[in-house]
Structure 1
Amino acid sequence: MVTLNRIYTRTGDAGTTRLATGATVSKADIRVEAYGAVDETNACLGLARVHTVGDALLDAMLARIQNELFDLGADLSTPAAPDEIAGSKLRILDSQVGRLETAIDELNTKLPDLMSFVLPGGTPAAAALHLARTVCRRAEREAVRLIEAGEPVSGPALRYINRLSDFLFVAARWANGRGEAEVFWVSGATR
């Protein structure tokens, strides 16, 4: 359990923050950008859940994912040390990725076939889930940027972010009347 009695510390007033390891970095550090985008994704899911309270299945999935996004943020804010002992740090697990895949399949099998690209929108829940999906894609790009910079990112963490954006796409379709109220792209419609 985490106890947070003091909200402001003034330690970030100079534009720096601390990683979970205690290392001081710029607030513009690529690792901070990555877990910051995960935090933004989580906030988008909080907004989406305002509109999913009547859908017990989807809302329960989103509640679980919101908790897992804190795990993901902890994973990304804790660079792996070469001598890290397995299980000593909070890391995303492959079983969490698998659970996302199961959720995608559970929703997707009950949706009509997709015959066109979908425009982000429709119901308030679907619009919020599409927003979350795009922010999640940014989190994925930031995590890839970390890897390309030679920084450690766990394989399960990267897979989780990738699969989460897939889940959010399917969840948005689900929130649009189980796919019946989707807004489709019409190629060249405004020419």
Structure 2
Amino acid sequence: MVVLNKIYTRTGDKGDTALGNGDRVAKFSDRVTAYGTTDELNSFVGVARLVAEEDIDAALSRIQNDLFDLGADLCRPDMEKDAEAEYPPLRVTLDQVDRLEEEIDVMNDALDPLRSFILPGGSALAAHLHVCRTVARRAERLAVELGAHEPVNPAVVKYLNRLSDWFFVAARVANNGGKDDVLWIPGANR
């Protein structure tokens, strides 16, 4: 259990922060940027939950917990030392990716196929979910970039990739099963 008695520590006042393994890195490091963007995404999910109906809200609650798992995973780079750690590090698993895929399939089965690209919007929930989708894509790009030069759990990238798809399909569900999707009309304003 995490206990936070004091919120400010002053340890980062000079521009560095501690990773989950105790190493100190610059606050602008690729790793901190990747898990910081995941935290930003989690905040947007919290905003989406304000207007979500019960079934979507329950799924978003699970996603918020997964995103904390994902941030914990990213903040601990030394995966090869997991077995030696005093406490087993929290890692994203492929079971979490599989759950997203199953949820996507269930939601998508109830939707008509897309005949055009859609614009972010429609209902308030759909608009929020599209913001989540785009931030998830940015988090994914940052995790991939980090993985080009530092260890990253491959399940993290897969989860973020699937999560952006989940948000896209959930936005369509939130738009009256896709009936209220805002369709892109190429060249409409020429």
Matched residue pairs, number? 188
Residue equivalent to 1:183: 182
Tell me which amino acid in the other structure corresponds to 2:160: I
Tell me which amino acid in the other structure corresponds to 2:37: A
- Rounded Cα–Cα distance in structure 2 between residues aligned with 1:81 and 1:124: 40
Unaligned runs of 5+ in 1: none
- Rounded Cα–Cα distance in structure 2 between residues aligned with 1:44 and 1:18: 25
SS in 2 for 1:99: helix
Residue equivalent to 1:78: 76
TM-score by length of 1: 0.95
Residue equivalent to 2:46: 46
- Deviation, 1:82, is 2.4
Tell me which amino acid in the other structure corresponds to 2:31: R
Structure 1 stretches of 4+ moved >6 Å: none
Quote the sequence identity (%).
53
TM-score by length of 2: 0.95
Counterparts of residues 31-180 of structure 1 (less than 5 Å): 31-52=31-52, 55-85=53-83, 88-149=88-149, 151-180=150-179
Tell me which amino acid in the other structure corresponds to 1:76: L
Unaligned runs of 5+ in 2: none
- Deviation, 1:57, is 1.6
SS in 2 for 1:85: helix
The CA RMSD measured in Å over matched residues stands at 1.3
- Rounded Cα–Cα distance in structure 2 between residues aligned with 1:74 and 1:98: 20
Tell me which amino acid in the other structure corresponds to 2:145: R
